[in-house]
Structure 1
Amino acid sequence: MTPQPHEDVTAQKRRTGLSRMWHALFYSFAGLRAGWGETAFRQEAIASVVLVPLAFWVGQGWVETALLIGTVVLVMVVELLNTGIETAIDRIGPEWHVLSKRAKDMGSAAVLLSLLLCSGTWIAALWMHFGNPA
């Protein structure tokens, strides 16, 4: 007898301690691999390869450096969540529905807000680094 999909989920729920953490780590890596298949996430990940090291040069102290890196990571986190929402909606069905549109639009708005926060933080840090002669 082959296990049903819901039995696999139940098996994960029964795990505890290090076993659960170990398996969750592999699920997380699978999620990152799936995210890499999305153009927007891939673009943000490539940008992070430039921005994260740059944060150590632009940041004036460890708090500012952490904020610069944190906003970059936040964009990627929100993008993954948005992709998860879109994937779940698409799983339900391809037909147009007002609630499906609403969920996808809200996910997109969350990405926009995270990008605005990231951009604003970086612009302020760059201004302080290059635009302030003091």
Structure 2
Amino acid sequence: MIQKESPYKGKRGFKRIWNALGYSLTGFIDAYRHESAFRQEVALSGVLIPLSLILHASGEGHALLIGSILWVLLVELLNSAVEATVDRISLEDHRLAKRAKDIGSAAVLVSLVNAAVVWGLVLFF
């Protein structure tokens, strides 16, 4: 099997940063196109992040509100990457594939609960 060279290999400085930004944007776009949960969370963040900026909260409160929403997006991206990797290896039902996907889903749930708790604490205490 011929191994393909990494797109990062040999690139340094600004060129490497520019390429990394391009790969990141491609990943974001792919997640948006192919993952309905990610689209829903992006839509929700499009409402909640601006709302967090107009709510009466301290600077730390604003940071917590926004950070908790960005954390949900981050965990969803990682979960989608795990799912895509598992599916790439095999679409066959396997207990370890199910476990990996279920654990990724649990991580998303924890991030959503975290966001709800943070919003509740910042807004009501």
Per the normalisation by structure 1, the TM-score is: 0.86
Q: Does 1:26 align with 2:22?
A: yes
Q: Indicate the RMSD between aligned Cα atoms, in angstroms.
A: 1.4
Q: C-alpha displacement at 1:59, in angstroms?
A: 4.5
- Residues matched between the structures, number: 123
The aligned runs of 1:91-130 (5 Å cut-off) are 91-128=88-125
- Identity among equivalent positions (%) equals 44
**Aligned equivalents of 1:71 and 1:13: distance in 2?**
34
* Alignment-mate amino acid for residue 15 of structure 1: K
Which one is further off, 70-79 or 59-68? 59-68
Q: Structure 1 residues 17, 59: closer, same or farther in 2, change over 3 A?
A: farther
| Structure 1 stretches lacking a partner, 5+ long | 129-134
1:12 is matched with 8
Larger radius of gyration: 1
* Alignment-mate amino acid for residue 23 of structure 2: Y
Q: Deviations over 1:13-70 (max 9, x none)?
A: 2211111110000000000101102100000001111100111122511100000000
SS at match of 1:12: coil
**Aligned equivalents of 1:110 and 1:50: distance in 2?**
23
CA contact (8 A) 2:79 2:104 kept: yes
